[in-house]
Structure 1
Amino acid sequence: MRTIKLGNSTLEVPVVAVGCMRINSLDKTEAEQFVQTALEVGANFFDHADIYGGGACEEIFADAIHMNDDIREKIILQSKCGIRKGMFDFSKEHILESVDGILNRLRTDYLDILLLHRPDTLVEPEEVAEAFDLLERSGKVRHFGVSNQTPMQIQLLKKSVKQPIVANQLQLSITNANMISNGFNVNMENDSAVNRDGNVLDYCRLNDITIQPWSPFQYGFFEGVFLGNDKFPELNKKIDEIADKYEVSNTTIAIAWLLRHPAHMQPVTGTMNINRLKDCCKASDVHLTRQEWYEIFRAAGNVLP
């Protein structure tokens, strides 16, 4: 699979990340087959979070991949922390405790990347900096990033945090593309012109932060997938037309649409279906034309001024 540099680091990562949020829906044999398939197609970047399955997803993954030193050298592990029941917590104590729990469940000595999950309005950047310094010095975490954060929230962290922020995991799909559409509708009086994220797309590009789109097939906030959905007839017609041209599935084209953006994004899959995972990874080899990208964008109901 094609690779990119993660942020401004030297870490080479596949352009498609394998999300493990639902791996607890598989039995032991299915989980083993799933992670083995991912490795076979070059998708060796696995995304976790301490809240996925209450921690069970990380344990199931470690069992499924038969974690050992040899395997660990061949994979890239990312996990997230900061969400607790009824609140968010970026305190030094919680970050350190969370990482220890993550490492224990994944049966590894280190994470390649740690992301702070959803923003904590009570964050003390100095505490985050102390936690990151301890994790880096101890070798428990090699790279750091965030998830669902605006430019100003990242800047607030960078006031104290010295480590580069290499990634920002954000909700983005063909139908949830406000971070793209508001850039077209400058000074326009329509809903697409509403800036909901502080120009996070441009900020990440300017600061060499890799955007990791989550829920790349969802519309709304977990309302369902747009592929094959009667609510999006024009979009599916256009995607199917382009899929036929490239002799791939509609799943492949939906991921290829994200990869075509020059921000060099790294979509995070959520499927536990082996064939669908393969289709996601095939997007690495599909380069949509400019015209095709815009046709898909418009077919989703996005309006160009």
Structure 2
Amino acid sequence: MTGPPAGTGRALYGCMGLGGSWDDSAYTAADVGHAEAAVGAALDAGITAFDHADIYRRGKSEAVFGELLAASPGLRARITLQSKCGIRLPDGERPGLYDLRGPTIVRRVEESLARLRTDTLDVLLLHRPDPLARPEEIAGALGSLHRQGLVRRFGVSNMSAAQIARLRERLDVPLVVNQLEMSLGHRAWVEDGVLVNTAASAGNGFPHGTVEYCAANGIGLQAWGALARGRFTSGSPTPTGDLVRALAERKGTTPETIVLWWLQRHPAGIAPVIGTTRPARIAACRDAVLREPGLTHEEWYELWISARGAPLP
């Protein structure tokens, strides 16, 4: 069993919703205020790790966060800053693409640091696999960033065990994180482990053995989309939503916590990324940060079987 990724704690706050619109317009004072409220709620909930990417709101998520750091000089020392690079958004007639060329990685990190108004990233993730990437070129870029003190630790996002293994063969720095979509609503990662030798395994889609590979090699897992976009916590009457609410009442906590505990109860050491921008909903996740996952073996399975809508094979 591994614990949460180094320096990230039990959960992270995902900053993709901060910074205003996804177009090229500038962020506003209201956007900064909105970010301040969300980040304050995260800190109040015990979250001290913040997840960014260079593309979020076309860089504005990092920029408004940089405004908060500038306005509160002691904040940077209290938190872990994580960002990602490797995706290039569409630009004019050029489509969106992936780019993990060495010089691009270095340039994107330098731009993120400038927007965040900090000298160092605690963690850098490679956002998506680039089929044209050369592992030795990635290794050179990451090694340079580490030697210069621009990035302390490294990881990946949305990568399979085979992709991580190939990359690790060339790297001189360890990979400490793999961030994947994982939730009670997006269960392919856990279904993978029980659909072996069944007809349903072919349609599962999740790269077999990735969770196990990460656990065996000390690579922590982070779960994006961890709250399943409110599917089980919105109050709508569904069998799984009703079960989540009943468990929350029984445990003296919130439905959001139950959904996050379901991830955290897994022995791979999953740290959920909480992406809502609503302070009240961020506050509802507090027990997932400050309390041990309070689900029994049977309750964990009850949630899984209810969400999948069918018995286990």
Is 2:106 the partner of 1:99? no
Identify unmatched segments of 5+ residues in structure 2.
21-29, 90-95
Q: CA distance change for structure 1 residues 41 and 233 in 2, over 3 Å: closer, same or farther?
A: closer
Q: CA distance change for structure 1 residues 108 and 204 in 2, over 3 Å: closer, same or farther?
A: same
From 1, 7, 16, the equivalent of 2:11 is: 16
Q: CA distance change for structure 1 residues 33 and 227 in 2, over 3 Å: closer, same or farther?
A: closer
1:233-272 correspondence runs (5 A): 233-272=238-277
Is 2:300 the partner of 1:293? yes
Q: CA distance change for structure 1 residues 68 and 101 in 2, over 3 Å: closer, same or farther?
A: farther
From 60, 66, 70, the equivalent of 1:62 is: 66
> What is the TM-score normalised by the length of structure 2?
0.88
Deviations 1:25-58 (A, max 9, x none): 4633232222122223321100000000100110
SS where residue 66 of structure 1 aligns? helix
Instruction: Tell me which moved more, 158-167 or 93-102.
Output: 158-167
Deviation at 1:67, TM superposition (A): 5.5
Paired residue for 1:84?
88
Tell me, yes or no, if the aligned pair for 1:255 and 1:283 is still in contact at 8 Å.
yes
SS where residue 146 of structure 1 aligns? strand
Deviation at 1:72, TM superposition (A): 1.5
1:182-197 correspondence runs (5 A): 182-190=192-200, 194=204, 196-197=206-207
Is 2:78 the partner of 1:74? yes
**What's the % identity of the aligned pairs?**
38
Structure-2 separation of matches of 1:125 and 1:103: 24
Deviation at 1:5, TM superposition (A): 5.0
Structure-1 separation of matches of 2:213 and 2:118: 33
Structure-2 separation of matches of 1:289 and 1:75: 32
Paired residue for 2:124?
114
Letter in structure 1 aligned against 2:180:
L
Letter in structure 1 aligned against 2:84:
K
Instruction: Tell me which moved more, 85-94 or 103-112.
Output: 85-94
Tell me, yes or no, if the aligned pair for 2:16 and 2:275 is still in contact at 8 Å.
yes
SS where residue 35 of structure 2 aligns? helix
Pairwise CA RMSD of aligned residues? 2.0
Structure-2 separation of matches of 1:303 and 1:201: 22
Identify unmatched segments of 5+ residues in structure 1.
none
Deviations 1:112-170 (A, max 9, x none): 00000011000100110000110000000000000000011111111211211100010
Structure-2 separation of matches of 1:170 and 1:161: 21
Paired residue for 2:34?
30
Structure-2 separation of matches of 1:41 and 1:190: 40
Letter in structure 2 aligned against 1:106:
L
Structure-2 separation of matches of 1:94 and 1:258: 34
SS where residue 199 of structure 2 aligns? coil
How many residue pairs match? The answer is 294
Deviation at 1:228, TM superposition (A): 3.3
Structure-2 separation of matches of 1:228 and 1:5: 27
Deviation at 1:192, TM superposition (A): 7.8
SS where residue 174 of structure 1 aligns? coil
Structure-1 separation of matches of 2:121 and 2:73: 13
Q: CA distance change for structure 1 residues 250 and 5 in 2, over 3 Å: closer, same or farther?
A: closer
Structure-2 separation of matches of 1:291 and 1:5: 23
Structure-1 separation of matches of 2:205 and 2:46: 36
Q: CA distance change for structure 1 residues 17 and 302 in 2, over 3 Å: closer, same or farther?
A: farther
SS where residue 271 of structure 2 aligns? coil
> What is the TM-score normalised by the length of structure 1?
0.90
Q: CA distance change for structure 1 residues 216 and 302 in 2, over 3 Å: closer, same or farther?
A: farther
Letter in structure 2 aligned against 1:239:
V
